[in-house]
Amino acid sequence: MPKEKAKRVDSGVHIAIREPESVRKMLLESAKDSIRFLQRQVSLEDIRSQKMALFGELRAVLKEMVFLNNKLDRVMPRVKLDRPAVAKEPGQEVEEIEDEKPRLVTRSRLDELELELEDIDKRINSLK
């Protein structure tokens, strides 16, 4: 069997590119953009993996907190309260009413200004 030679087929088609430098520049810029996109993708994957690790730690801490809270509930003595404690915040007053639980009355800044206006009006009327 005679050895066959590989034939080389040339299509003979060539395309002339106008402004080859601008085309080359655009190709390089698109390659840069692709690389930047891949870098962002890798950084997002890193952030996602860190996020998942932090969520895992958070779950472990929450489980431990629930366990310790349940343990504390078992150890602490039970106490009955006759009256619930009322927290007093700035701008709130506790009104004492007999045979009823105390109520918190909140006065807004607008109400306080209205009271001051009434007081000033009373002073003006007393001067007349």
Q: pLDDT of 40-68, one tens digit each?
A: 999 899 999 999 999 999 999 999 999 99
Average pLDDT, the chain: 79
The 10s digit of each residue's pLDDT in 94-110 is: 555 455 555 555 667 77
What is the DSSP-derived secondary structure letter of residue 18?
S
The alpha-carbon radius of gyration of the chain (Å, integer) is 40
Q: Domain ranges in the chain?
A: 17-79, 92-127
Band of residue 80 on the pLDDT scale cut at 50, 70, 90? confident
pTM: predicted TM-score of the whole model, two decimal places: 0.43
The 10s digit of each residue's pLDDT in 8-31 is: 555 678 788 888 888 889 989 999
What length does the chain have? 128
Handedness of CA 109, 110, 112, 117 (dihedral sign): positive
Band of residue 6 on the pLDDT scale cut at 50, 70, 90? low
